[in-house]
């Protein structure tokens, strides 16, 4: 496997283009629990991350009926990214003050995480994010209410040599 950085500029451009609408190439999950992680996954894919087609534990989207839980589910996305040793994006948990453009922030309660956001800018040490399920682009993280937060540093992605 070869590791490479993602194109955070392409991720941010994609987020800007689709933050307030839906790419017709993907199902809109707003009425199936929310579209936030689907949107974040699309952004990482736009940034050059290859899909990992491993059934059950991969990160991929072909259609509503042929997709990995990690593409659309908050916790499944987290588990995939921080544990992935194969094809596709990978990362690690870092402190919020280490967030950078292209990283993913997840918000939660004391019982579960429920929302994924893509960092599109950092100003005065404050992350600004893009999201679906409450569409946003360049929204300050400080405007959100949450009990728990985790920051997933997207280190890069892997491809076959």
Q: How many structural domains comprise the chain?
A: 1
What's the pLDDT at 14? 98
What domain range is 26 assigned to?
Answer: 2-159
What's the pLDDT at 56? 86
Q: Quote the pTM value.
A: 0.96
Give the C-alpha separation, 108 to 151, whole Å. 12
User: Would you write out the chain's pLDDT as a tens digit for each of its 161 residues?
Assistant: 899 999 999 999 999 999 999 999 999 998 888 999 999 999 999 999 999 999 889 999 999 999 999 999 999 999 999 999 999 999 999 999 999 999 999 999 999 999 999 999 999 999 999 999 999 999 999 999 999 999 999 999 999 98
Give the C-alpha separation, 142 to 126, whole Å. 7
CATH of the domain at 18: 3.90.1720
């Amino acid at each position: 496997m070869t590791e490479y950085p993602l194109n955070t500029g392409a991720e941010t451009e994609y987020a800007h283009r689709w933050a307030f609408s839906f790419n017709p190439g993907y199902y809109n999950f707003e009425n199936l629990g929310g579209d936030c992680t689907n949107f974040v996954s699309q952004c990482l894919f736009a940034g050059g991350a290859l899909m990992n087609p491993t059934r059950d534990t991969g990160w991929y989207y072909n259609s509503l009926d042929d997709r990995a839980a990690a593409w659309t589910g908050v916790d499944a996305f987290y588990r995939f990214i921080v544990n992935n040793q194969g094809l596709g994006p990978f990362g690690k948990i870092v402190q919020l003050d280490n967030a950078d453009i292209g990283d993913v922030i997840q918000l939660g309660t004391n019982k579960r995480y429920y929302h994924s956001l893509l960092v599109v800018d950092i100003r005065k040490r404050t992350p600004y994010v893009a999201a679906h399920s409450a569409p946003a682009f360049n929204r300050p993280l400080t405007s959100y209410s949450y009990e728990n937060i985790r920051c997933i540093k997207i280190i890069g992605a892997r491809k076959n040599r």
